[in-house]
Structure 1
Amino acid sequence: MSQPVIAIAGLACETSTFSPARTFGRAFHPRRGPEVIEKYAFLHNGTPLADVADWKGALIGHALPGGIVVRADFEQLSREILERLAAIVASNPIDGLWYDIHGAMCVDGMEDVEAELLRRIRSVIGPDVLVSASMDLHGNVSRELAHQTDLITCYRMAPHEDALETKERACRNLIDVLTSRTDNGRRRPLKAWVPIPILLPGEQTSTRNEPAKSLYSLVPEIEAMDNVLDAAIWVGYAWADEPRNHAVVMVTGWDKDAVVIGAKRLASLFWRVHKDFHFVAPTGSFSECIDNALASSDRPFFISDSGDNPTAGGSGNVTFGLNELLKRAEFAKETTPSVIYASIPGAQAIDVITKAGVGTTVTVTAGAQVDNLHAGPVTMTGRIHSIRYGDPDAEIEAVLQVGSVFTILTKFRKPYHHESDFVGLDLSPRVTDIVIVKIGYLEPELFNMAAGWMIALTPGGVDQDLQRLGHHRILRPMWPFDKTFHRAPDLTPRVIPFSNEVLGTPQG
C-alpha cells in the first residue's frame, strides 16, 4: 500500500470580542509549503510520522491573541489556503488533512470561523478526505465543526506545556485511521459530542489545580478504553460572545457504545465539579495586590495584570495598571522597592528612546492608542536603562526607569513569559522585589520563579470578572453567569458521524 498523502492548513488566533483592537493578516506570520513542515520537528525527515506519510504544507498562520480579525485579511489568507490546496490536489490527490487551528478565532461579520474555513476547504479537497484537527483547550467546538472533522483533539494542560505533543497526536491519530481498513474500505470514526453550560476563564481552570487537575487526569483513562481513539475536554473561550462559546467534551472512536460511555463520564464529572472552580492564585484589585506585595517578605512577588493579558486576547496597551503603579509614593525614589512592569507598547515613545540612547533622561508618552476605555496614555520621565532590537513580536524593546519602577516599552505588543525576556533587557527578575506582568496564570518559568503571586482583577478586553463584560449572545443558562439552574443540563452525548452536508454555500 502506498503512503497516504496528507496536506496541512489552518489559521489560529484567540480573539476577544470585548477588545477594540483588530488583528491584521500580517500578525499570522504565514508559513507556506515546505515552511510548514519545517515548523514541526515531528514531521522532519527520519521521524516516525515523516516515514509513514507524504506531508504537503499548504498554509498555516498563528497570530498572537488579540482583537477581532479584519475580514478582508482573513478572506485573503483563506483564498490562499484554498489555492494552495487546489494545487496540491491537482498534482497529488490527498488522503488526509491536518487542520492546525486554535478554535477561538473571530472575524468581522462572521460566525464560527473555524467551521466556515473548513467548509471552504472541503469544497476543494472533497468529502472523502479525512480531517484531523488539533486545538487549544480554550477553543470552541461547535456542532458544525464536530460534523466536518473526522478526528479532533486538544491540549490537556493549562498552561499549555503539551502543545506540540497535541499536534503530533492529531497527526498520529490521522495516520492510524488512514491505515485502518475494513472489507468495505476506509472507516470513519464516530464522535460523541457533549455541550456543557459552563464558560470559565483559564485562570479558574488551570490543570495545575483542582478540580481541573482531576478532571483532565480522566482523559487518558477514557482514551485507553477499547475502540476509543481520542478523548478531549474543551473549557471554551470566555472572552468572546458567540453561541458556540461554552465547554465541550468529545470522545472519538470506532464503537458507538464506547464513545458514548466515555463522553458521558467526562461530561458528568465536569458538571459535578462546576461549582468548585476557583482562581489559581489569590486575587484583588490592582491596589490591593500592590499593598500585599509590599507587606510580603516573599521575593520576587509577581502580580498578574490580568485584564489586558495579550496572550488571552487583550490589546496589551491598556494603561490602567501602569497609571496606578506610577501614582504610588512608595516607588517615587530609586532607593525604594524595585519593580518591573511588563509591558506597554508605544511606537512614538520607542522612537524617542532609540534616538536618545541608553543613560539619557527622556519624557515619553505610551499606551492607550487602541484601548483607552479604562485609562488614557501615560506620560513618564525617566532614565533609559536598556534598548534591544530584533524581537519577532516587539521589534524594538526598551526599559525606562522612573523612580524604582523599570517599565518595559515596546514598538509592538509582546508577552513576557520567559526569564530571558527580562535578562536580555538587563533586568534581573529573581532579585527584583515586585514583578508585574500582563498575564493570567503564570507561565512555567515565571511560576517556578515566583515566591509570592496574586492576580490583579484589572479591566480590559480579557477582564477576569466576566459579569462586567456584557455577554448577551452566549446560550443561557450558563455557569457562572447563571447561579440557578431550574433543571440539570442535558449531558446526553450526541453521536456525530461525518456530515456529507459540507459543501454548502460558504459565508460571504
Structure 2
Amino acid sequence: MTKPRIAIVGMAIESSAYAAHRAGYRDFPVLTGDALIERYAFLAPGEPLAEAAEWIPVFMARAIPGGAVLREVYDDFKNRIVEGLRAAGDIDGVYFDIHGAMSVVGLEDAEGDLVTAVREVVGPNALITAPMDLHGNMSETLALALDLPTCYRLAPHEDAWATKERAAHRLVEWLGKDEKPLTAWVRVPILLPGEKTSTRVEPARTLYAQLDEVEKKAGISDLGLWIGYAWADEPRCHATVMVTGDDAAVISAEAERIAGELWDARDEFAFVGPPGTLDEAVEAGLAHRASGAEKPYLISDSGDNPGAGGSGDVTWTLTRLLADERLTGEDAPITYVASIFDHGAIEQIFAHAVGDRIDVTAGARVDHRVAEPVRIRGELLSLHEGDPAAGRIAVIGVGGIRAIVTEFRKAYHDVADFHAIGLDPEAADIVVTKIGYLEPTLYDIAKGWTLALTPGPVDQDLERLGHSRIVRPMFPYDAFDERPDLSAALIRGRRYVRGFAGTASA
C-alpha cells in the first residue's frame, strides 16, 4: 500500500497581551528539511512512525514565550508554510505543531488564521492534527479546522514530547480509516493562570490524571483539557474540553462530564507554591539561611516570567534587591538574580575586564511601565559569549548579589542555565529568577520556595491587568447565578453535527 503523505508545519509562541516585547525574526529559530525531521525523535530512521508514513518537512518556527509577533514576521512565515505545502503536492495529513496562545499584531486569532491558510492549500479531505500546550486557547475557527486536536496533560510540561508523539500516532491511525473522526467540544467559562492550575497539586492533578484512562474507553481516540492562557486578552481565552473518537454518544458524555468536573472544582484552584510579596519572599529566604537549612531558597519573580510571556527586562525586583543592605552588605547571602537583558548595557560591560569595578544602567529598555532602568555598581565577576538565546552574558557582584545581565531575552529555568555561566544554584543561599511555578530541575533542588507576586506583563493578579475583550461572564471575574451551559458541540470535518452552529467565534 502507498504510505500516507504527511506534511509537518508549525509556528509556536505563547504571547502575553501585556508584554511590551514584540517577537521578531531573532526570537524564532527556523527548521526545515532534515533538521525539522530530526526535531522529532519518534521520526528517527527505523522508528515505527517514521516507517508508517512519508513525512514531508515543510517549515517550523518556535520561540520562547513573549509578546505579540510582528505582523511582517508572521506574514512571512505563513507564506513560507503555504508555499511549502503547495510545492509538496497532494497531502493526506498535516502535523500542525503549534502552541495555541500565539498573538500577532493586528490579528485576533492567529492560530485560527494560520490553520485556515493551511486548510485552503491541503483541501477539506486532509486530516490535521495539532499537539498543543494545555495553556493554549481554542477558538471556534481552530476547533472547526482541526480533525485531531490534543494537548499536554502535565504542567510543568514534562509530557510535551509524549504528547507530540501521541498526536502523530493518532494521525497515522486515522489516515488508515475511511472516515473522519468526530470531536465533542465544550467551552468552559474559566480563565486562570498556570500557577493556579499546575498538575502538581489539586484539583488539576486529579482532573488531568484521569485522562489517560478515559482515553482507553471504546469509542474514544484522544482527548484534551485546555485550561487556557490567561495573559492574552481575546475572545478565545477560556478553558476547553475536546474529545475525539468515533462514538458520538461516548465522546459527548465524557466531554461534558470532564467540563462539569472542571467547573465544579473552580473555587479549589490555588497557587502551586507558597505565594507572597517580594518582601515576604526575601524575609523567608533570609530566615531559611539563618536557620542553617540546606541551600538554596528559590524565589519566583513571577510577574515578568519569560516562560509565560513576560518581556524579560522588567527591573522592579532587581531594583528592590539592590536596595536591600542585607543582600549587599557584609556577610550577605549569596543571591543569584536572573535576569535582565540590555544590548546597550552589554556593550558597555564588555568594554571592561573581569575583576573591574563597573557602574552600568540596565534593563527596562523594552518594558519600563512598572520600573525604570536599574543602576548596577559592583564587580564584574564573569563574561560569557555564544549562548544561542542570550548572546553575551555578564555576571556582576554587588555584595552577595550575583546579577545576571544578558544581551537578549533568556529564561533561566534550568540549573544548566546557571552552570553554563559558572554559577552553581545548589551553592547559593537564594536564587531569584523570572519564573512562575518551578520547572523540574529547579523544583528538584529547591529547599524552600516563595512564589513572589511581583508586577509585570504576566502579573498573577489578572484583574489588575484589566482584561477587556474576553467573553463575559467568566470565572473568576464574574459571579454565576446558575451553572453555565456545558453541553458539547459535535464536529466532523469542519461542520457541526450538533451545537454551536451560528454562534460567534470564541
1:80 and 2:83 aligned: no
- 2:272 counterpart (255, 277, 280): 280
Q: Which runs of 4 or more aligned residues in structure 1 lie more than 6 Å from their structure 2 counterparts after TM superposition?
A: none
Q: Distance in 1 between matches of 2:351 and 2:284?
A: 38
Q: Distance in 2 between matches of 1:149 and 1:120?
A: 13
Structure 1 residue 424: deviation in Å? 2.0
Secondary structure class of the residue paired with 2:7: strand
Q: Distance in 1 between matches of 2:286 and 2:7?
A: 54
Structure 1 residue 332: deviation in Å? 2.1
Q: Distance in 1 between matches of 2:300 and 2:375?
A: 22
Amino acid in structure 1 at the alignment position of 2:41? A
For each residue in 1:372-392, what CA deviation from the matched residue of structure 2 results, as whole angstroms up to 9, or x when unmatched?
011100011111111221111
Instruction: Tell me what 2:482 maps to.
Output: 487
1:211 and 2:203 aligned: yes
Instruction: Tell me what 1:438 maps to.
Output: 434
Amino acid in structure 2 at the alignment position of 1:277? F
**RMSD over equivalenced CA pairs, Å:** 1.1
- 2:315 counterpart (319, 323, 327): 319
Q: Distance in 2 between matches of 1:356 and 1:52?
A: 57
Instruction: Tell me what 2:501 maps to.
Output: none
Q: Distance in 1 between matches of 2:359 and 2:243?
A: 57
Structure 1 residue 33: deviation in Å? 2.3
Q: Distance in 1 between matches of 2:416 and 2:220?
A: 42
Q: Distance in 1 between matches of 2:142 and 2:417?
A: 37
Secondary structure class of the residue paired with 1:288: helix
Which structure 2 residues correspond to residues 291-440 of structure 1 after superposition, within 5 A? 291-296=283-288, 297=291, 298=293, 299-440=295-436
TM-score (norm: length of structure 2): 0.96
Amino acid in structure 2 at the alignment position of 1:251? V
Structure 1 residue 222: deviation in Å? 1.5
1:151 and 2:148 aligned: yes
Instruction: Tell me what 2:500 maps to.
Output: none
Structure 1 residue 500: deviation in Å? 6.1
Q: Percent identity?
A: 49
Secondary structure class of the residue paired with 2:242: strand
Q: Distance in 2 between matches of 1:346 and 1:394?
A: 10
1:188 and 2:180 aligned: yes
Which structure 2 residues correspond to residues 236-247 of structure 1 after superposition, within 5 A? 236-247=228-239
Structure 1 residue 301: deviation in Å? 0.7
Secondary structure class of the residue paired with 1:15: coil
For each residue in 1:207-251, what CA deviation from the matched residue of structure 2 results, as whole angstroms up to 9, or x when unmatched?
011100000011112211101000110010000100100000010
Q: 1:172 to 1:54 in 2, by over 3 A?
A: same
Instruction: Tell me what 2:33 maps to.
Output: 33
Q: Are the counterparts in 2 of residues 308 and 439 from structure 1 also a CA contact under 8 Å?
A: yes
Q: Distance in 2 between matches of 1:428 and 1:133?
A: 38
Q: Distance in 2 between matches of 1:327 and 1:26?
A: 34
Structure 1 residue 394: deviation in Å? 0.1
Q: Are the counterparts in 2 of residues 361 and 383 from structure 1 also a CA contact under 8 Å?
A: yes
Secondary structure class of the residue paired with 1:275: helix
Q: Distance in 2 between matches of 1:460 and 1:222?
A: 39
Instruction: Tell me what 2:251 maps to.
Output: 259
Q: Distance in 2 between matches of 1:266 and 1:397?
A: 46
Aligned length: 492
Structure 1 residue 29: deviation in Å? 1.1
Q: Are the counterparts in 2 of residues 313 and 462 from structure 1 also a CA contact under 8 Å?
A: yes
Amino acid in structure 2 at the alignment position of 1:65? P
Secondary structure class of the residue paired with 1:23: coil
Structure 1 residue 359: deviation in Å? 1.4
For each residue in 1:443-496, what CA deviation from the matched residue of structure 2 results, as whole angstroms up to 9, or x when unmatched?
0000010000001111111000101000011111111112x2012111101111
Q: Distance in 2 between matches of 1:358 and 1:464?
A: 38
Structure 1 residue 38: deviation in Å? 1.4
Q: Distance in 2 between matches of 1:320 and 1:101?
A: 32
Q: Are the counterparts in 2 of residues 218 and 266 from structure 1 also a CA contact under 8 Å?
A: no
Q: Distance in 2 between matches of 1:473 and 1:420?
A: 39
Q: Distance in 2 between matches of 1:141 and 1:303?
A: 32
Amino acid in structure 2 at the alignment position of 1:497? R
Structure 1 residue 355: deviation in Å? 2.2
Q: Distance in 1 between matches of 2:303 and 2:184?
A: 35
Q: Distance in 2 between matches of 1:98 and 1:427?
A: 40
Instruction: Tell me what 2:19 maps to.
Output: 19
Secondary structure class of the residue paired with 1:454: strand
TM-score (norm: length of structure 1): 0.95
Q: Are the counterparts in 2 of residues 132 and 149 from structure 1 also a CA contact under 8 Å?
A: yes
Instruction: Tell me what 1:498 maps to.
Output: 493
Q: Distance in 1 between matches of 2:414 and 2:76?
A: 34
Q: Distance in 2 between matches of 1:25 and 1:266?
A: 39
Q: Distance in 2 between matches of 1:277 and 1:177?
A: 36
Q: Distance in 2 between matches of 1:144 and 1:255?
A: 23
Instruction: Tell me what 2:69 maps to.
Output: 69
Q: Distance in 2 between matches of 1:201 and 1:318?
A: 20
Q: Distance in 1 between matches of 2:241 and 2:29?
A: 31
Q: Distance in 2 between matches of 1:167 and 1:57?
A: 15
Secondary structure class of the residue paired with 2:358: strand
Q: Distance in 2 between matches of 1:179 and 1:125?
A: 18
Q: Distance in 2 between matches of 1:404 and 1:161?
A: 33
Deviates more, 1:331-340 or 1:199-208: 331-340
Q: Are the counterparts in 2 of residues 139 and 235 from structure 1 also a CA contact under 8 Å?
A: yes
- 1:142 counterpart (119, 139, 158): 139
Amino acid in structure 1 at the alignment position of 2:447? A
1:235 and 2:195 aligned: no
Q: Are the counterparts in 2 of residues 25 and 77 from structure 1 also a CA contact under 8 Å?
A: no
Q: Distance in 2 between matches of 1:420 and 1:25?
A: 26
Amino acid in structure 1 at the alignment position of 2:119? R
1:49 and 2:44 aligned: no
Secondary structure class of the residue paired with 2:106: coil
Secondary structure class of the residue paired with 1:399: strand
Instruction: Tell me what 1:100 maps to.
Output: 97
Q: Are the counterparts in 2 of residues 25 and 74 from structure 1 also a CA contact under 8 Å?
A: no
Q: Distance in 1 between matches of 2:227 and 2:330?
A: 44
Secondary structure class of the residue paired with 1:355: coil
